[in-house]
Amino acid sequence: MALVIDASTPVVAVANAQSPANTATFTPPDDVLLLMTWAGDSASATDPSTPSVSDTQALSWTTDVWDHRTTGTPTLDGQAAIFHATQGVSGGAMHATATSGAPPVNNSQVFTCYVITGHDPVAPMGVIGSNRQSSGSSLSDGYTGSITGGQGFMIVCDWNAGSTATWAAESGCTLLDAGTVGGLISYGVVQRTDPDGMLGATTTLGLTGLVTGGQYHWAIAEVISLEAAIAAAAQAGYPALGASPPMF
Q: pLDDT of 133-179, one tens digit each?
A: 999 999 999 999 999 999 999 999 999 999 999 999 999 999 999 99
Specify if 103 maps to a domain: yes
Specify if 248 maps to a domain: no
Specify if 241 maps to a domain: no
Specify if 112 maps to a domain: yes
Q: Inform me whether the pLDDT recorded for 129 exceeds 80.
A: yes
Q: Inform me whether the pLDDT recorded for 237 exceeds 90.
A: no
* Mean pLDDT lowest among 17-26, 183-192, 238-247: 238-247
The rounded mean pLDDT for the chain is 94
* pLDDT, tens only, 84-111: 999 999 999 999 999 999 999 999 999 9
Across the range 50-68, mean pLDDT stands at 98
Residue 34, φ and ψ in degrees, nearest 5:
-100, 110
Instruction: Return the closest-CA partner of residue 193 out of 154, 140, 227.
Output: 154
In this prediction the pTM is: 0.94
Tell me the residue range of the domain where 29 lies: 4-235
How large is the C-alpha radius of gyration of the chain? 18
Structural domain tally of the chain?
1
Q: Where are the alpha helices (DSSP H) in 92-244?
A: 226-235
